[in-house]
Amino acid sequence: MYKIRALDECVFELGRLPGVGRKTAARLAMHILKMKPEDVQRLADKIVAFKENTLFCSVCGGLSESEVCPVCSDKNRVQETLCVVEDAKDLFVIEQTGYYKGRYHVLGGKISPLDGIGPDKLRIEELFKRITDEGINEVILATNPDVDGETTAIYLTRLLKRFEQLKVTKLASGLPLGTHIEYADEMTVLRALEGRREL
């Protein structure tokens, strides 16, 4: 049986991406083969450019094209409020509502014992440091309404009690259980923000 080495290598690399199994990787590879050469080149260029030009903001941990992201460097944002999200993707969804005027803190994931992700893997110490250094008076917990997201919110709520003057709120349960922020529509996220409740 003969092999096409370049095909095997392409399938192997695509298959390393999260959520892409071997079958999907093979289908994607065959699709790439049928694409116009210039389209394949553009796809490859965009991936490389995205990787080269995108950083994590040194303040909030969100995505940025410079050391500090536009939200963190915007002096017109409410400086004393932080919205805590799991991932940078969630930040964009909340930004799209246009309702939230504070700033963000990206945890970089959620506590997930099954995946071996403990609190030490998240940007929690950075959050505490920011609350103190930046005079934060409200933290809005906007983790996802699934088991791990809720666990993370409960864990943070307990630890945040150490900051006596801090108001800790959580997104209203307008988000259907299991619906991740990144897939929720703008109105749902907006209502969840408006109806946030104090913990």
The binding site for Zn ion (CB under 5 A) comprises: 57, 59-60, 62, 69, 72
Q: Which residues pair with 84 in a beta bridge?
A: 105, 141
User: For strand 63-64 and strand 197-198, is the pairing parallel, antiparallel, or unpaired?
Assistant: unpaired
Which residue, 59 or 140, is less far from Zn ion as judged by CB? 59
Which residue, 70 or 113, is less far from Zn ion as judged by CB? 70
We find the least distance from the C-beta atom of residue 56 to Zn ion, in angstroms, to be 9
Which residue, 41 or 96, is less far from Zn ion as judged by CB? 96
We find the least distance from the C-beta atom of residue 39 to Zn ion, in angstroms, to be 34
66-79 burial, b if ≥16 CB within 10 A, otherwise e?
eeebebbeeeebee
SS (H, E, C) 105-171: EECCCCCEHHHCECHHHCCHHHHHHHHHHCCCCEEEEECCCCHHHHHHHHHHHHHHCCCCCCEEEEC
We find the least distance from the C-beta atom of residue 123 to Zn ion, in angstroms, to be 12
Which residue, 130 or 196, is less far from Zn ion as judged by CB? 130
We find the least distance from the C-beta atom of residue 194 to Zn ion, in angstroms, to be 23
We find the least distance from the C-beta atom of residue 136 to Zn ion, in angstroms, to be 14
Which residue, 86 or 148, is less far from Zn ion as judged by CB? 86
Determine the Cα–Cα distance for residues 112 and 121; give it in Å rounded to an integer. Answer: 10
User: Angle at the Cα of 85 (from 103 to 155), degrees rounded to 5?
Assistant: 115
Element (H, E) at 82: strand 81-85
Which residue, 41 or 58, is less far from Zn ion as judged by CB? 58
We find the least distance from the C-beta atom of residue 57 to Zn ion, in angstroms, to be 3
Determine the Cα–Cα distance for residues 189 and 196; give it in Å rounded to an integer. Answer: 11
